[in-house]
Structure 1
Amino acid sequence: MIETAKANGLDPMTYIGSLLDELAQFPEWRKSLDLGDYLPWNYPKLMAIRDKA
């Protein structure tokens, strides 16, 4: 996970900390398929969309 974050240009500690914060708020009704949005290569797009809202 750390190496994948690095390979995708993310700071691993920031990514993992943010990921844990986000997933702690992940509602039970969301589908497990939505978890793919939190993978390192999709995460910057997800955060950009969330920050615009």
Structure 2
Amino acid sequence: MTGLNESGMYALVFGSKLPAARAFKRWVTSEVLPAPERHKVRSTRSDQGAGRMGPQGD
């Protein structure tokens, strides 16, 4: 049995000339990868570190 990790899958598909693979590549590069940047939430200075606990639990 041969395994394929996520980066290997992208390398395989992105190198393919098949129409379905080209459509998948176009979707990933135009919709999926840019999505986090489009929906980024900017934090204010007072929000930085919120929820983090220091070494003494404070």
| Largest Rg, 1 or 2 | 2
**Which has the bigger relative contact order, CA under 8 A and spacing at least 6?**
1
Give the TM-score normalised by structure 1.
0.28
Q: Of Structure 1 and Structure 2, which has the larger fraction of its residues in helix? A: 1
